[in-house]
Structure 1
Amino acid sequence: MVFRSCWKSRHKNVSGAAGPRWIRPGLAALLWFCVTQFVCGAVGETKNVVQKDAEFDVTYNDTVTSENQTIYAFNHTISRNKTEGVRVTVDVLSQGLESPILFVVRQKQAVLSFQVPLILRGLYQRKYPYNHVGRTLCQPPTRALSETQYFFVDVSTLSSQGTNYQLRVSRVESFTLQTDKKFSFTASPSQPQYFKYVFPDGVDTVIVKVNSDMTFPCSVMSVQDIQCPVYDLDNNVAFIGMYQTMTKKGAITVQRKDFPSNSFYVVIVVKTEDEACGGPLRFYPLRPDELIDAGNRSKAIDVMVSPAINSEVYVMGMLFCLGIFLSFYPLTLLMACVENKRIKKRDLLQIPADTSPAETGKIPGVQYEYGSFADNGSTLSSEAITDSATSTDNNYGYIGQELLKRRPILNHSQHIAVSIERSLDSVGRSRQESLSSVEEDDYDTLDDIDSDKNIVRTKKFLYVSDLARKDKRILSKKYQIYFWNIATIAVFYALPVVQLVITYQTVVNVTGNQDICFYNFLCAHPLGALSAFNNILSNMGYVMLGLLFLLIVLKRDIIHNRAMVRNDLNALECGIPKHFGLFYAMGTALMMEGLLSACYHVCPNYTNFQFDTSFMYMIAGLCMLKLYQKRHPDINASAYTAYACLAAVIFFSVLGVVFGKGNMVFWIVFSVIHILATMLLSTQLYYMGRWRMDSGVLRRIVNIIYTDSIRQCSGPLYIDRMVLLVMGNIVNWSLAAYGLIERPNDFASYLLAIAICNLLLYFAFYIIMKMRSGERIQCLALVCILFTAVVWGFALYFFFQGLSTWQKTPAESREHNRECILLSFFDDHDIWHFLSSIAMFGSFLVLLTMDDDLDTVQRDKIFVF
């Protein structure tokens, strides 16, 4: 326009110049002439502008300097029913990079400009020049049935030397993508590609799938609305629409409601560097202005657009999910009815609930025999306690001797006789008091009670009656704290989690950056604002089965309380002491696991992975505490101590995710803490808590090693406990060594594996010791064990499929994406949610029912292990 004004000013009659009305015509003409002459002198009076009528599919070889400008004029006819792309391809044949050529494409509704060589910037502002550039022109929509449009390509430069170039404008015949038809093409950083897709009638949602056989170079796929300009370069592709990086796979679900024109562009851009896709970091330039040769970064890509599922599949998926987990409710009700009939039949064949043993001449549990622990039918001999008191040459030997002098030890038959006599003489006393072999009423001072604890807990063979001496009401309140604490934790934990994931989802929807969340994009079905509704829905099983378990525990709790009120002998004096607080906490933790797992899958990434694992740690810890509580009700950890330890575990989980990747110092510190914690816990379990951590602990350890191992060459006093703890230490030390050597990226899963290994080891020990003690597993518990083991096996198979992983880059994670495998709605990870929730529910039932065979066995005949 400036050139045109200069040319007109030279041939214009000065006297005819126009100007403001308040200036006289002669002065205005002189002023206008001076301004135009100054501008024309600034831009160069000798600029030669040449306009050429150009044609499609013709290659133009020409030279451009600062003294000439070439304009190529094109025209083409577009129709409303057919869309054709127009592509401009430019090659610079000269090697000079100081003065690039500027190409400006002027269209009806847009202007596209680019320079050649095209300089694209990478990480740390590194510069990559490209002499071959290809750009596709945007196609503004037309309302007319047919319309002829004009566009111009202006070529100019500021270089005084001639620069040779080639220009070619061609039509892209296959510019519109067809449904379910694969389209192949090649793209590079300087030659991006994009194509148009129009929603067919009756299709509201489609999935754009992009595949390549080449991992690198790294690429970006974008979905943009039909508008000009189209952002198709590495430095601006993220400005609009939805986009994601990709190596071999990429997929974006597109809904019609997000595009008012019922159509969109699929844009493919090859990045200048591969760091965003996990590729190697290229070398630094020697100078800030140094240009780096990018090499050949062409990539062959396939694009296919397929219709997504319809609303009927959504309904079928939700009904399937509800149907599976609702079916457990009538099944559980049926099993409860069968179990009630069995219990009533057992009660009819045994002693009536309101009849004492003395009235019937029978003693509960006498018929129950034990195997390897019993010594000729006697439960506890004076030799056993004497050996226990004298052989442990530690802090409590003299206490044991004094207590043995003051109190005779009863054998099994005497103990039963004394128990019967007490039950007859204590009509005014509550039957809820324990029939333990040692009563707290027999002592006058607190020191006597502590001395008795030292003797009882260091006996060679312990019975549940020895560790169930505390008041049941106090213990019941102690274990109820587990439930109330976890309920409080759940509320204060879940509220900020929900708020945070809503923010994540909002950011994804607003920015269009699909690298924020690590979905299985090939099976991510949106619903409303949620990007992957199926991953959220599949967590329903944890909530529904957790609620069902709470109802089962509540039923057992009510039945037990009624039995206690009517002074049922079995409830008062037989079986494992019934404390349901930990069971309530386990059921609540299972429900919270479902809620937090659903929150995590709203936008799964490495910053919120602890949402999905925190209550897994709690479930593993609570299950271990419940196993220990069964045989050690008086000395189990308090809720405050337990949750403090679990909080420390979660704290290390967060530190491991943030700092643990390849950090040797962190792994050394964690491994040392892991080994020390294992040793301290082993000592606590071995001595039943009857040891002190003070300045004399090392001296006592050396004394025990000298007297028991070196001087007397005696074996461990508690062989079974020693076997368990030795195996536990071997497993944990091995896991610590593995973590120190391998330093796995997924620290949260590594920590969870430690918890699960310890839980499985303790559970296996419990089952083996139960069988060794002559106890049996009832049919219901055995069915639960076998069913749970099978379900866990299938669940772990689907878990290790690894459809996505936040330990890698988003592009590398998408390489693991796979299609839906169930009802075209659920993927492998959804099936893991289904099966793992069922397996956890079955595991809880195992813990609830595995000791039902002891409900009629006297507690002083149930071994502690």
Structure 2
Amino acid sequence: MVLRNCWKSRHKNSRGPAHRWVRPGTAALFWVCATQLVCGTGAVVGETKYVQKDAEFDVTYNDTVTSENQTIYAFNHTISRNKTEGVRVSVDVMQQQLESPILFVIRQKQAVMSFQVPLILRGLYQRKYPYKHIARTLCQPPTRAASETQYFFVDVSTLSSQGTNYLLRVSRVESFTLQTDKTFTFTASPSQPQFFKYVFPDGVDTVIVKVNSDMSFPCSVMSVQDIQCPVYDLDNNVAFIGMYQTMTKKGAITVQRKDYPSNSFYVVVVVKTEDEACGGPLRFYPLQPDELIDAGNRTKVLDVMVSPAINSEKYVIGMLFCLGIFFSFYLLTLLVTCIENKRMKRREMFQVPADMSPAETASLLGKNSDGKTPASPYEYGSFADNGSTLSSEAITDSVMSTDNYGYMERSLDSVARSRQESLSSVEEDDYDTLDDIDSDKNIVRTKKYLCVADLARKDKRILSKKYQIYFWNIATIAVFYALPVIQLVITYQTVVNVTGNQDICYYNFLCAHPLGALSAFNNILSNLGYVMLGFLFLLIVLKRDLDHKRALVRNELNALECGIPKHFGVYYAMGTALMMEGLLSACYHVCPNYTNFQFDTSFMYMIAGLCMLKLYQKRHPDINASAYTAYACLAAVIFFSVLGVVFGKGNTVFWIVFSVIHILATLLLSTQLYYMGRWRLDAGILRRIVYVIYTDCIRQCSGPMYIDRMVLLVMGNIVNWSLAAYGLIERPNDFASYLLAIAICNLLLYFAFYIIMKLRSGERIKCLPFVCILFTAVVWGFALYFFFQGLSTWQKTPAESREHNRDCILLSFFDDHDIWHFLSSIAMFGSFLVLLTMDDDLDTVQRDKIYVF
């Protein structure tokens, strides 16, 4: 009756959160606890004796608890606004009573913490790990008073009838508040997590929380949480609130003041019960569903430091630096254009007299007086007339004869043919209307020595329409590809911001500068170079295209009969692909991870493929692949890229199939290139192969007819077969990079072959493309150095990826990968300029004197 009246009195007069302690299943316990608070230090309820003790800090209490003898420890401490001290409760249990564990309930202002000892933490597949040594830090409710005394109580109870001995110690954490730029060392384990408080100093709006350890394992989690109770500091609840990430040796989270109204936050570090989340070995399965597994020693020593992040001034400097670099290329291009225009005006001053005879005009075109060309097909870059030779550079200023506008007149047959050309739409197959066109193709394309004129027989309007499809197709692909990509990465970024899960995206967290909703603005900004330089390349191509069309309208002989045929559709596609590479790379870096890597690589494959197609088109304009065929092949490459990432890791069947397809594709392409497309893949292909081997290799033992082509194709097959063997043996984890390496190796091989054959054929490289080649090679070298620094990788777990994170190295804003973006965009732009200008020396050479290789 006395206890009942006491409880009623407490219930009537109590204010605050006393009744919030009562929860289903523990109502009787908390009723007793409340009774002890009011009715004295000891009481007996039924057969259970409850004892309350006034306890002190830094004193170890060695007691025994049973179902008949339970204890309440009362503590008090003084807190102030200007100083925050943590309070840590440590518990050790001598015996392991799994059936009836000891329950510890810590009641404090605005919060209740409870845990059982031994503490059972669950891992993967619900495996259970018991812990007998527990240490927890109490949260600190904020106070408005200058100084305030707060009370908290530790209730110890059990349902076991046998006595269980325990040790209880409550101590103050002197270094509970972290200091800016000061490292604090501590230890943590799954049952002994740690958290600390940080207060933003005046004038600092953004900080970086860095946690480091010399130990890769055990795996741990760092979290940043708002100042509130309770603090989620166990493996099974640390992901409930705030931002968090797994870590092995390194972890870093950027925190902004605007996200924390109290201008302070908790840094929580928890050691996980298992290491699978950090890429550690998968431990054995329990034999029984409820089997307990010894966790072993999972104590980890860590360092924590909070440093101010960059201010808004660094953002402005970084953006101006980025814009300044790429605008300088616009200025340099404008300067080179002005210089080139002045040179052209000077050349117009040295015009050929208007009354030049047809014989003299023909001599300048490299023809004899009877209109026939010289016999030698190897006089590249020069013109011959009756034994006299004039270099192309020497006659550049005098090759233009004048009409009313000072330009050379075309020959009468060329003018007549030009006037008879219809302006209506022409289909690509219109040139094949003659019955003997197929035999004509076979005769021309199987000659031992081919000239560009032999492979530039199609109507220029037909080819122009054919190659413009490259641009329109890639523009269509870009629109339909980019829109869902943008939508997806926005969703990824939203999920990261809402859930706080920093393991979703693979950033370089030590140099990830947020802006607005974006977590790593610097990685996105550095992709601006691809877009700006791609657009600049489009402008350069557009100027050349317009100049060429004006020359055609004026019936200039150089534009009609000389030089490599000018088709700009693939160039437009290359510039568009470079811009799209920048856009999609920026989208990828919004949230780089395993599922969206193809955003960053798809247009790299397209750029490599388009560059090879353009190189081949220069000397083979009539037989180059159509846009539909080219993009279908590139789509197949991207398809295999996705399959390789999803199924290629350790899958022997996939690597065998891919290697076989790689080798067969190489052989088919080699045959297509060697015979200039004059072969058929049909039922009789095996019979024809056997016949060729018998006649050429066994019966006559003759060498290859086209030696130069054979050298290229043999080298290409050696390289590709070697890459296929490497993939089959090593099975690289990064299949996307492996596939890109195949494309780049083939491009470099073909480009080197083109340069060598160009010089071997007596042609030369002008100053501008030569400077571009040297400049591009140097830039590519530096770019690849920064690329292979590997600041993060989605092939590993997020925690393992963070081990590669490093601080910013440029303007405290850009990291190594940002510099790769800068240099690679410049190198790609330079490579495009090399392709565009490499054959400018042939602009005054007749096409029947330009060798095909």
What TM-score do the two structures reach when normalised by structure 2?
0.89
Number of positions where the alignment pairs a residue of Structure 1 with one of Structure 2: 787
Match of 1:845 in 2: 833
**Structure 1 residue 501 corresponds to structure 2 residue 494:** no
CA contact under 8 A between 2:111 and 2:229: conserved in structure 1?
A: yes
In the alignment, the residues of structure 1 paired with residue 124 and residue 356 of structure 2 have an alpha-carbon distance, to the nearest angstrom, of 85
CA shift in 2, pair 1:720/1:353, >3 Å: farther
CA shift in 2, pair 1:680/1:97, >3 Å: same
- Per-residue CA deviation, residues 753-812 of structure 1 (Å, 9 max, x unaligned), is 100000000000000000010000000010000000000000000000000000000000
Instruction: State the 1:445 CA deviation.
Output: 6.5
Stretches of structure 1 lacking an aligned partner (at least 5 in a row): 14-35, 368-374, 382-410, 415-419, 434-439
- Per-residue CA deviation, residues 154-197 of structure 1 (Å, 9 max, x unaligned), is 00001110000000000001100000000000000000000000
In the alignment, the residues of structure 2 paired with residue 852 and residue 242 of structure 1 have an alpha-carbon distance, to the nearest angstrom, of 58
Match of 1:778 in 2: 766
**Structure 1 residue 291 corresponds to structure 2 residue 287:** no
- Per-residue CA deviation, residues 841-865 of structure 1 (Å, 9 max, x unaligned), is 0000000000000000000000000
Instruction: State the 1:74 CA deviation.
Output: 0.3
Match of 2:154 in 1: 153
Q: Which amino acid aligns with 1:131?
A: K
CA shift in 2, pair 1:70/1:491, >3 Å: same
CA shift in 2, pair 1:802/1:851, >3 Å: same
- Per-residue CA deviation, residues 100-138 of structure 1 (Å, 9 max, x unaligned), is 100000001000000000000000000000000000000
CA shift in 2, pair 1:854/1:376, >3 Å: closer
In the alignment, the residues of structure 1 paired with residue 758 and residue 530 of structure 2 have an alpha-carbon distance, to the nearest angstrom, of 30
- Per-residue CA deviation, residues 200-249 of structure 1 (Å, 9 max, x unaligned), is 00000000000000000000000000000000000000000000000000
Pairing 1:213-612 to 2, within 5 Å after superposition: 213-346=214-347, 349=350, 358=359, 360-364=361-365, 378-379=376-377, 423-425=411-413, 427-430=415-418, 446-612=434-600
Give 3-state SS (helix, strand or coil) of 1:684's partner: helix
Pairing 1:651-666 to 2, within 5 Å after superposition: 651-666=639-654
Instruction: State the 1:745 CA deviation.
Output: 1.0
Match of 2:16 in 1: none
Paired-residue identity, %: 87
Give 3-state SS (helix, strand or coil) of 1:264's partner: strand
The structure 2 residue matched to 1:718, chosen from 706, 711, 714, is 706
Q: Which amino acid aligns with 1:8?
A: R
Q: Which amino acid aligns with 1:606?
A: Y
Give 3-state SS (helix, strand or coil) of 2:687's partner: helix
Q: Which amino acid aligns with 2:449?
A: F
CA contact under 8 A between 1:233 and 1:269: conserved in structure 2?
A: yes
Give 3-state SS (helix, strand or coil) of 2:799's partner: helix
Instruction: State the 1:426 CA deviation.
Output: 5.2
Match of 2:401 in 1: none
CA shift in 2, pair 1:683/1:299, >3 Å: same
Instruction: State the 1:740 CA deviation.
Output: 0.8
**Structure 1 residue 678 corresponds to structure 2 residue 666:** yes
CA shift in 2, pair 1:474/1:247, >3 Å: same
Match of 2:618 in 1: 630
Match of 2:693 in 1: 705
**Structure 1 residue 855 corresponds to structure 2 residue 843:** yes
CA contact under 8 A between 2:183 and 2:304: conserved in structure 1?
A: yes
Give 3-state SS (helix, strand or coil) of 1:820's partner: coil
Match of 1:72 in 2: 73
Instruction: State the 1:97 CA deviation.
Output: 2.1
CA shift in 2, pair 1:362/1:346, >3 Å: farther
In the alignment, the residues of structure 2 paired with residue 486 and residue 259 of structure 1 have an alpha-carbon distance, to the nearest angstrom, of 46
Match of 2:607 in 1: 619
What TM-score do the two structures reach when normalised by structure 1?
0.88
Give 3-state SS (helix, strand or coil) of 2:125's partner: helix
Q: Which amino acid aligns with 1:317?
A: G
Match of 2:727 in 1: 739
Q: Which amino acid aligns with 2:829?
A: F
CA shift in 2, pair 1:790/1:813, >3 Å: same
Give 3-state SS (helix, strand or coil) of 2:168's partner: strand
Q: Which amino acid aligns with 2:202?
A: D
In the alignment, the residues of structure 2 paired with residue 600 and residue 614 of structure 1 have an alpha-carbon distance, to the nearest angstrom, of 11
Q: Which amino acid aligns with 1:213?
A: D
- Per-residue CA deviation, residues 457-501 of structure 1 (Å, 9 max, x unaligned), is 011000000000000011001100000010010000000000000
In the alignment, the residues of structure 2 paired with residue 174 and residue 808 of structure 1 have an alpha-carbon distance, to the nearest angstrom, of 35
Match of 1:826 in 2: 814
Instruction: State the 1:666 CA deviation.
Output: 1.1
Match of 1:18 in 2: none
Give 3-state SS (helix, strand or coil) of 1:306's partner: strand
Match of 2:86 in 1: 85
Instruction: State the 1:342 CA deviation.
Output: 3.2
Q: Which moved more, 1:443-452 or 1:577-586?
A: 443-452
In the alignment, the residues of structure 2 paired with residue 11 and residue 626 of structure 1 have an alpha-carbon distance, to the nearest angstrom, of 91
Pairing 1:65-214 to 2, within 5 Å after superposition: 65-214=66-215
CA shift in 2, pair 1:112/1:89, >3 Å: same
CA shift in 2, pair 1:70/1:573, >3 Å: same
Instruction: State the 1:674 CA deviation.
Output: 0.6
The structure 2 residue matched to 1:667, chosen from 633, 650, 655, is 655
Give 3-state SS (helix, strand or coil) of 1:812's partner: helix
- Per-residue CA deviation, residues 398-425 of structure 1 (Å, 9 max, x unaligned), is xxxxxxxxxxxxx9999xxxxx999334
Q: Which moved more, 1:346-355 or 1:847-856?
A: 346-355
CA contact under 8 A between 1:89 and 1:169: conserved in structure 2?
A: yes
- Per-residue CA deviation, residues 315-360 of structure 1 (Å, 9 max, x unaligned), is 0000000000001111001111222333444555575899895463
In the alignment, the residues of structure 1 paired with residue 613 and residue 629 of structure 2 have an alpha-carbon distance, to the nearest angstrom, of 11
- Per-residue CA deviation, residues 653-709 of structure 1 (Å, 9 max, x unaligned), is 111111111111111111111111110000000000000011100000000000001
CA contact under 8 A between 1:354 and 1:567: conserved in structure 2?
A: no
In the alignment, the residues of structure 1 paired with residue 386 and residue 620 of structure 2 have an alpha-carbon distance, to the nearest angstrom, of 24
Give RMSD over aligned pairs: 2.7
The structure 1 residue matched to 2:683, chosen from 689, 695, 714, is 695
Instruction: State the 1:840 CA deviation.
Output: 0.3
Q: Which moved more, 1:660-669 or 1:809-818?
A: 660-669
CA shift in 2, pair 1:759/1:153, >3 Å: same
Q: Which amino acid aligns with 1:160?
A: S
Match of 1:20 in 2: none
In the alignment, the residues of structure 2 paired with residue 232 and residue 860 of structure 1 have an alpha-carbon distance, to the nearest angstrom, of 80
CA contact under 8 A between 1:432 and 1:572: conserved in structure 2?
A: no
In the alignment, the residues of structure 1 paired with residue 715 and residue 355 of structure 2 have an alpha-carbon distance, to the nearest angstrom, of 46
CA contact under 8 A between 1:94 and 1:164: conserved in structure 2?
A: yes
